[in-house]
Amino acid sequence: MRPVLARRRPALLLFLTLALGWIAPAARADLVWSAATGWRVEGGALAGLAGAEGKNALDQMNKARSAEEDGGSRTAIRGYQSIAKKYPNSIYAPEALYRSAKLRLGRKEYTKAFDDFQTVLGRYPNTRRFNEIVGEQYRIAAALLDGARGRMLWGLLPGFRQRDKALEYFETIIANAPYSDYAPLALMNVARGHQKLGNNEDAIDALDRMINNYSQTLLAPDAYLKLAQMHASLVDGPYYDQGATKESITYFTDFMLLFPSDANIAAAEKGLDGMKTMLAESKMRMADFYFYKRSNFKAARVFYNEAITAYPESAIAQKAKGRLAEVEAKVAGLPPPPTAGEPAPAPKKKRFLFF
């Protein structure tokens, strides 16, 4: 008996697959509105409700939409919210939440609108409005980041700015749609927002995620350049740790190698020159300290050579070469060589005494 079942199983699976393929389109339904007929379900599916319950849900949907059409946004929002709460498994619920979110957005209730949109995506991820809702969420986050104020308080006071909330929303968008066009845009805005708020390390983290996860997007060149510039902004001077300087040099170099025809190549070259000069200058300061303050000629040699290696074509490198010659002369007990660019001291004239 088992061999017979084994032979029939592939045919049975094929039949079920085809049957589901035919049934699935029929099972899909759209909720359509027209002023003449109100809301109706199209696509050959049930609304998820039956009998009196289904009639009540449809009546509430029509009342909410009528209030919306008449300009009664608050009444419409209450109606849509009630439907979503009472009939969460019906076809009306995602549409009710979507309509509520759109109305709240029109009233500048940005956080409530975003939350309603998010509820649709969380409860009904297969909604046909998925891309549209992600786009609406992106626009809300971008508006808040740029300083948009919410609805006026008591009709008198302007709403608060919510840039911190914007960063949270961008991260939510990335989690909702990591493979959409909005994800790299959201990360770039996260970096911009953290930079505005003075959170440089968080801005760098966002840019780093951007180039690691979305290196093929059109935004990648901007991310590399901004990473280099952000690290450069953390440099405190030649007397301090040069970790940020080295990171900046790395990203400026990567940018120039990966995007040689980019319009910002001149800015990258200038930035790279500044950072390499800073690194070489830092090595010179260390070398001078060991040479002049500690008479540690071995350490001085090391740092002068590092200054030359850091930026061989620079004026600092030439200066470091002159200092190395001084070190060697000091070790050998010879008078220091003339400084580069200066003439050697003239021999003293002989003096004759007459009696």
For the chain, domain boundaries: 29-107, 122-216, 218-336
* pLDDT confidence of residue 339: 59
* Four-way CATH pick for 218-336: 1.25.40.10, 1.10.10.10, 3.30.160.270, 2.60.120.10: 1.25.40.10
Amino acid at 195: Q
Rounded distance, CA 43 to CA 26, Å? Answer: 6
Rounded CA separation 288/271 (Å):
26
From first to last of the 355 residues of the chain, give the pLDDT tens digit: 444 444 445 444 444 443 433 334 434 678 888 888 889 888 755 566 667 888 898 999 999 999 999 999 999 999 999 999 999 999 999 999 999 999 999 999 999 999 999 999 999 999 999 999 999 999 999 999 999 987 656 555 566 788 999 999 999 999 999 999 999 999 999 999 999 999 999 999 999 999 999 999 999 999 999 999 999 999 999 999 999 999 999 999 999 999 999 999 999 999 999 999 999 999 999 999 999 999 999 999 999 999 999 999 999 999 999 999 999 998 888 887 765 544 545 555 555 545 3
- CA triple 112-82-67, angle to 5 deg: 85
**Residue showing tokens 């350490």:** 299
Question: How far apart (Å, rounded) are the C-alpha atoms in residues 237 and 239?
Answer: 6
Counting Cβ atoms within 10 Å, is residue 35 exposed (0-12), middle (13-18) or buried (19+)?
exposed
Chosen CATH of 122-216 out of 1.25.40, 1.10.3470, 2.60.120, 1.10.8? 1.25.40
Q: Do the two domains 122-216 and 218-336 of this chain adopt the same fold?
A: yes
**Cα–Cα distances in angstroms (integers) from residue 111 to residues 40, 268, 327, in the given order:** 30, 39, 67
Which residues are registered as beta bridge partners of 157?
153
The residues near 118 (Cβ < 8 Å, ≥ 6 apart) are 137, 172, 176
